[in-house]
Amino acid sequence: MSGHVFHPGHHELHGITVVVETSGDTTYVGRFDREDDEQAYLKDVGVHQAGSQSWEEYLDRTMLYGVKVDHPDLTVPRAEITSVRKLTEVGRG
Amino acid sequence: MYDPTLVQPMRDETVAMGLEELTTVAEVDAVLANHSGTALVLVNSVCGCAAGTARPALKQALSHGVTPDKVYSVFAGMDTDATQRARSYFGEDFQPSSPSMALLRDGEVVMMLHRHMIEGRTPEEISADLTAAFDKHCETTV
């Protein structure tokens, strides 16, 4: 492991690309930054909306080509979040 | 932009493992335009979450018997023009992320290791992905 690390001591998912599922039609894919009592804070976030491209197609394309960023920074109300999983775990299906 | 003195050890780490650092658009064009053979481009990053394992992983992979003909690095967030130019050689479909690594053969990306494929994994796991790609794409044919 390199000794050159800039930001130790964060949330265990800090810096990890995650899939955030919500109670609505929207799923987010982005880098988890942090959370507080009200919000989860994500960076470089792609948005999938149910009813457009299928989730499977969106996920396959994201795994192959990377996250197409719709929002550099995004907050998601914790009350709307139903799950937070690592993209690589979701992508393995 | 980060303090260059803080970033310098991360640059030195790649140079020490044999990468040629590309810091300008002209340097990128000089080596990637009309490139034949195989080349790996590391998009380096200050992010300890992922780059802290990406660099050691690449170092391990480069000790493998089969390696790319050339190995380069650009530094995202520092040498932004050079990084953007290098990404232009990866093609429009690939979304930018850092750190990441692209393996090119005759100018075409044959393997892309995105940031999400690096995060949370050990250098050994990442190195295994790289050496598998080297074995598949970098064998020299005579």
Closest by CA to A28, choosing from A89, A60, A75, A91, is A75
Closest residue in B to A5 (Cα) is: B48
Tokens matching residue B25 = 């658009």
| Residue B48 scores a pLDDT above 60 | yes
**CA gap A46, A30 in Å, rounded:** 6
Number of residue pairs across A and B with CB atoms under 8 Å? 68
Whether B46 sits inside 8 A of A87 (CB atoms) is no
> Which residues of chain A have a CB within 8 Å of the CB of B6?
6
Q: Do B52 and A1 touch (CB under 8 A)?
A: yes
Tell me the C-alpha distance between B38 and B108, whole Å: 9
Give the model's pLDDT for residue B3.
Answer: 87
ipTM of the complex: 0.86
B91 φ, ψ to 5°?
Answer: 100, 160
> What confidence score (pLDDT) does residue A9 get?
58
Is the pLDDT at B2 greater than 90? The verdict is: no
Segment B66-72 shows an average pLDDT of 96
The per-residue pLDDT for range B87-116, each reduced to its tens digit, is 999 999 999 999 999 999 999 999 999 999
Q: Which residues of B belong to the active site? A: 47, 49
The answer to whether B87 contacts chain A (CB < 8 Å) is no
Query: Does residue A6 register a pLDDT over 60?
Result: no
This prediction has a pTM of: 0.90
